[in-house]
């Protein structure tokens, strides 16, 4: 009888402990969900601001300043705030490694260029890139928006000596072994190689979406 009483007491203790843990886990899950709900808009806005800053750097020589518009898109002005054109989000099915595609048009509605947001996996984490493409489907420039690669190794992809290697290139350059080897950074292959391939894939995305339009 005593053993039965102890068994029931142990079971009750375990059940109570399990219930307490369940309540704590539910509370933590609710708290995390609430924090994510509150901060997701701010995170998305900050990401937009970083993209706008990168676009402004790329097109500074063209006198273009990019900023986040009230509808969550981008607007283009000169340094005095006068409208210079538009930056439209292309509403289309994107390849798995492409996050967004933008069409940049001048004041007359003519295509001035394209931009692709892509986030290949580096050595440690995803790397956010912005690839600017000319109307003739060559690369205008590449900007690294964010990364968390190893300092002094993987983060060398931020350097202009690496990024300038892509200027003027056409789709398919990463498919050549010799071209790929001439671009990637020795000692940082696991960061620079996926970045190089992602940049080439960005060109492929633009060609797929707008190639026939340009040829027509």
What does the pLDDT look like over 94-151, one tens digit per residue?
888 899 999 999 989 999 999 999 999 988 889 999 999 999 999 999 999 988 787 8
Helices (H), the chain: 2-58, 160-163, 177-183, 189-215
Looking at the domain assignment, is residue 131 inside a domain? Answer: yes
Global model pTM greater than 0.85: no
pLDDT of residue 215: 38
Looking at the domain assignment, is residue 196 inside a domain? Answer: yes
Look at the chain and report how many structural domains it folds into.
1
Looking at the domain assignment, is residue 73 inside a domain? Answer: no
157 exposure class (CB count in 10 Å sphere: 0-12, 13-18, 19+): buried
Q: What is the extent of the structural domain holding 177?
A: 86-215
CA distances to 73, 116, 130 from 99, in Å: 15, 8, 10
Please tell me whether residue 145 adopts helix, strand or coil conformation.
strand
Mean pLDDT of 17-21: 77
Q: What is the DSSP letter of 172?
A: T
Q: Which residue has the higher pLDDT, 29 or 133?
A: 133
Looking at the domain assignment, is residue 57 inside a domain? Answer: no
Looking at the domain assignment, is residue 3 inside a domain? Answer: no
Phi-psi sector, 52: left (phi>0), alpha (psi -120 to 50), beta: alpha
Looking at the domain assignment, is residue 61 inside a domain? Answer: no
Looking at the domain assignment, is residue 117 inside a domain? Answer: yes
């Amino acid at each position: 009888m005593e053993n039965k009483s102890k068994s029931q007491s142990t079971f009750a203790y375990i059940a109570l402990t399990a219930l307490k843990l369940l309540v704590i886990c539910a509370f933590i899950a609710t708290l995390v969900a609430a924090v994510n709900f509150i901060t997701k808009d701010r995170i998305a806005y900050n990401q937009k601001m970083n993209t706008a800053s990168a676009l402004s750097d790329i097109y500074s020589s063209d006198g273009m300043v990019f900023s986040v518009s009230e509808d969550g898109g981008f607007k283009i002005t000169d340094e005095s705030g006068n409208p210079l054109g538009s930056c439209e989000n292309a509403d289309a099915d994107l390849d798995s490694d492409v996050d967004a595609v933008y069409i940049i048009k001048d004041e007359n509605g003519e295509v001035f260029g394209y931009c692709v947001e892509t986030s290949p996996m580096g050595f440690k984490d995803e790397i956010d890139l912005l690839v600017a493409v000319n109307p003739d489907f060559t690369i205008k420039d590449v900007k690294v928006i964010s990364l968390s690669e190893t300092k002094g190794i993987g983060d060398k992809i931020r350097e202009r000596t690496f990024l300038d290697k892509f200027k003027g290139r056409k789709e398919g350059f990463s498919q050549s072994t010799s071209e790929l080897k001439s671009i990637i950074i020795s000692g940082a292959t696991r960061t620079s190689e996926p970045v190089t391939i992602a940049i080439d894939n960005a060109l492929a995305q633009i060609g797929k979406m707008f190639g026939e339009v340009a040829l027509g």
